[in-house]
Structure 1
Amino acid sequence: MKLSDIHILEKIAAGKIAISPSIPDEHIGSFSIDLRLGNHFKVFKYTQCPPFINLGTSDSLFTMCDQFMEDIIVEDDKAFYLHPGELALGITIERITLPNDIAGWLDGRSSLARLGLMIHVTAHTIDPGWDGQITLEFANIGKLPLALRPGMRICAVSFEQLSGPTSRPYSEKKGAKYTGQISPLSSRIDKDE
């Protein structure tokens, strides 16, 4: 069952859910909290990529994923332009820390989706025991470039109480590849066990 705004604020006040920096009151909805876009992006350097990435193998290409991606830092008063058909990684300003009995759910904002912006391609779950900023998987499925500005409300996070604590919180899980992230991280599929 999703937590209401009242219960989210109670969990934050009790230190069960941590969000930093703190959220402005106008970003709190009836059962979710809007998160803001950070200024760090990661994009593929298409001119330096191989003709394909061989998924499902332990191919050395996976360990080179970062070398095929470029970091872009956007000044606060500037924009990152996402062109039609492009994929980019971004990061939230806010860091989220969850206990081992609460999961988070990331959703794009409807107003942005109506312009063709996908906020997450598939990764919308924030595991119990998570601690870190959230990497966003942007895709522009529209026909026009979209200007993404640092600090804008980019997505919403809601929370769900589990039936009990998990025995495998993300921060303690063997193979937790993205814990503690403070910048958008490229695929770590080569670390799968």
Structure 2
Amino acid sequence: MGVKSDIWIRNMAKNFNMISPFEEKQVRKGIISYGVSSYGYDIRVSDEFMVFTNINSTVVDPKNFDERNVVNIKGDCIIPPNSFALCRSVEYFKMPRDVLAICVGKSTYARCGIIVNVTPIEPEWEGHITIEISNTTPLPAKIYANEGIAQLIFLGADDNICETSYADKSGKYHGQKGITLPKVDK
């Protein structure tokens, strides 16, 4: 699998609506950067957050998620020490069939003890990316809404295109809008 360049990313966003809204250059001044980089796309975090809380003393169960586990925040977000938040990308993605994207955190946040986790963005998946953010520090951590949070690296198939894409299997997170909580097929 080859890594896709800024030229490829711009073409796919402009001509095939792969990323919307799309920023064709890095936006950097006075903010945590986002937009196209040499071999990736820096995504923004929206202003919607779900911060995990122990106020209700519920169990975090991925098969039966209790929404009392989270507090909804709008705007910039303060994640408590050693805590966790769910959020989403500003951008909506429509992945091509022959491409997989891997997401890594931005160094600005990583140097503050903020870890970003996103599962692989599969071929023909589309939607807002649900982003998991962990504050590994013993201090509260601020996350800036509508600024950069992570970078996607696009990997293209060298030879064979996948037999079954995310859309083909009707993946449970296909077409997600907003922050999407855990689901288990029943």
By the TM > 0.5 criterion, same fold? Answer: yes
Counterpart in the other structure of 1:87: 84
| SS of alignment partner, residue 33 of structure 1 | strand
| Number of equivalent positions | 176
Q: Which has the higher strand share?
A: 2
Q: Distance in 1 between matches of 2:185 and 2:51?
A: 21
Q: Report sequence identity in percent.
A: 25
Write the letter of the residue equivalent to 2:41: I
Equivalent of 2:181, from 178, 182, 186? Answer: 186
Counterpart in the other structure of 1:168: 164
Contact 1:107 1:124 in 2 (8 A): no
1:157 paired to 2:152: yes
Where in structure 1 do 4 or more consecutive aligned residues deviate above 4 Å? none
Q: Distance in 2 between matches of 1:70 and 1:184?
A: 12
Could you tell me how far 1:68 is from its partner in structure 2?
3.1
Contact 1:40 1:71 in 2 (8 A): no
Q: Distance in 2 between matches of 1:105 and 1:32?
A: 10
Q: Which has the higher helix share?
A: 1
Counterpart in the other structure of 1:50: 58
Contact 1:42 1:71 in 2 (8 A): yes
| SS of alignment partner, residue 78 of structure 2 | strand
Q: Distance in 2 between matches of 1:102 and 1:51?
A: 36
Counterpart in the other structure of 1:72: 72
Could you tell me how far 1:10 is from its partner in structure 2?
2.8
Counterpart in the other structure of 1:33: 41
CA deviations on 1:63-100 (whole Å, 9 max, x unpaired) are 3x14333352413xxx2101221011010100011111
Rate the CA distance shift 1:119–1:191 in 2: closer, same or farther, 3 A: same
> What is the RMSD computed on CA atoms of the aligned residues?
2.1
